[in-house]
Amino acid sequence: MSLDLGLPALERAAPRLMRTEPLLNMRDISKSYGNVRALRHVDAAVYPGEVMGIVGESGSGKSTLLRMMNLEDTPDSGDYTLRLPGRENENLFDLTRYERRMLCARNIGIVYQNPHLGLLMKHSSSGNVAERLLIAGERSFEVLRDKAREALDASEFPLDRMDARPIELSGGMQQRVQLAKAIALEPALLLLDEPTTGLDVSVQALVLDTLKRLQRDRRITMVLVSHDLGVIRTMADRVMVMRHGEVVEQGLADQVFQDPQHPYTQQLVHAKL
């Protein structure tokens, strides 16, 4: 008997060679806001160590899906499991709000396009990172300081500015503080919502390189939402294409970009400059 993991048709049809199970598995997620159907029967599987890119036009549901992955919102229907020790079969949407918050703090990091959503702009950069550690229960000032320093360093943030407040920093530096905060507890899953949108091209390249290095060295699993196909093409191992709240296509990044199967994906790829 084959296991139905809720994978898209291509994946379900193929007998699997490796027994790797997805780290993240979402099944049949639907969500409406009033009359707007934001997500329609979305399935998503993300495997350990990979970067899954999500593309689509504004309003396609990609950021809504990311918020669901970060447990900031719950769907009208559907299941969400993360392969964390002892929680493999638990639908995370069934947890209480407090349980969801604690699980996220310890296991999921997120970087928002808008640093104001992810940072306390008038606290120090190191304090922002330490806040994440505090939520997870760390209390020793020395440990907090050391871990914050380590995370900022891994995010290639200049340590001589770790006491500067984000409001005093450039956009690229603010994104690095967000990244440091997101990886401070070595999360199983890192969610990136348009992390380089609005940055200068040169700063964007540096942030992307930092992300790629973190993925390579720490094997962090990432989900990257971007409307910039160049960013997705550079970063993602696999890609999901969303439109009107549905996943219209998914596949290996090079396949989706070179041999798109869905008319909308073809339109999207051909429109790229």
Partner 1 sequence: MTTTPLLRVQGLTKTFRMYHLDSMLHAFEDISFDLYQGEFLLLRGHNGAGKSTLLRTIWRSYLPVAGQVLYASSHGEIDLANAADVDIALLRREEIGFVTQFLNARPRVAAQDIVAEPLRLAGATQAEALDQARHWLDQFGVRPELWRAYPSTFSGGEQQKVNLARALILPQKLLLLDEPTASLDVGARAALVRRLADLKAHGVAIIGVFHHPGDVAELIDREINLNTRVIADQSAEEEHVAV
Q: Which residues bind partner 1 (CB under 8 A)?
A: 7, 10-11, 13-14, 16-18, 20, 47, 50, 202, 205-206, 208-209, 212, 216-217, 234, 237-238, 250-252, 254-255, 258-259, 261, 263, 266-267, 270
Q: Which is nearer to partner 1, 38 or 52 (CB)?
A: 52
Cβ neighbours, 10 Å, residue 70: 18
Q: What is residue 139's three-state secondary structure?
A: coil
Q: Which is nearer to partner 1, 87 or 212 (CB)?
A: 212
* Residue 235 C-beta: closest distance to partner 1, Å: 8
Sequence letter at residue 267: Q
* Residue 31 C-beta: closest distance to partner 1, Å: 25
How far is residue 89's CA from residue 247's CA, in Å, rounded to a whole number? 24
* Residue 147 C-beta: closest distance to partner 1, Å: 23
Q: Which is nearer to partner 1, 99 or 200 (CB)?
A: 200
Left, alpha or beta for 54 (phi > 0: left; psi -120 to 50: alpha)?
A: beta
* Residue 9 C-beta: closest distance to partner 1, Å: 11
Q: Which residue has the tokens 């396609």?
A: 60
How far is residue 198's CA from residue 170's CA, in Å, rounded to a whole number? 11
Q: What DSSP line would sit under 78-90, residue for residue?
A: EEEEE--TT-TT-
Are the C-beta atoms of 238 and 52 separated by less than 8 Å?
yes
How far is residue 252's CA from residue 95's CA, in Å, rounded to a whole number? 33
The alpha carbon of 238 is separated from its chain's Cα centroid by a whole number of angstroms, namely: 13
Distances (CA, A) of 113 to 51, 102, 261: 18, 23, 29
Helix axes of 125-135 and 141-154: crossing angle, nearest 10 degrees: 120
Q: Which is nearer to partner 1, 116 or 213 (CB)?
A: 213
* Residue 5 C-beta: closest distance to partner 1, Å: 10
* Residue 259 C-beta: closest distance to partner 1, Å: 4
* Residue 82 C-beta: closest distance to partner 1, Å: 17
DSSP 8-state secondary structure symbol assigned to residue 241: E
Q: Which is nearer to partner 1, 48 or 59 (CB)?
A: 48
Q: Which is nearer to partner 1, 123 or 212 (CB)?
A: 212
The closest alpha carbon to 173, from 235, 128, 221, 232, belongs to 128
Q: Which is nearer to partner 1, 47 or 67 (CB)?
A: 47
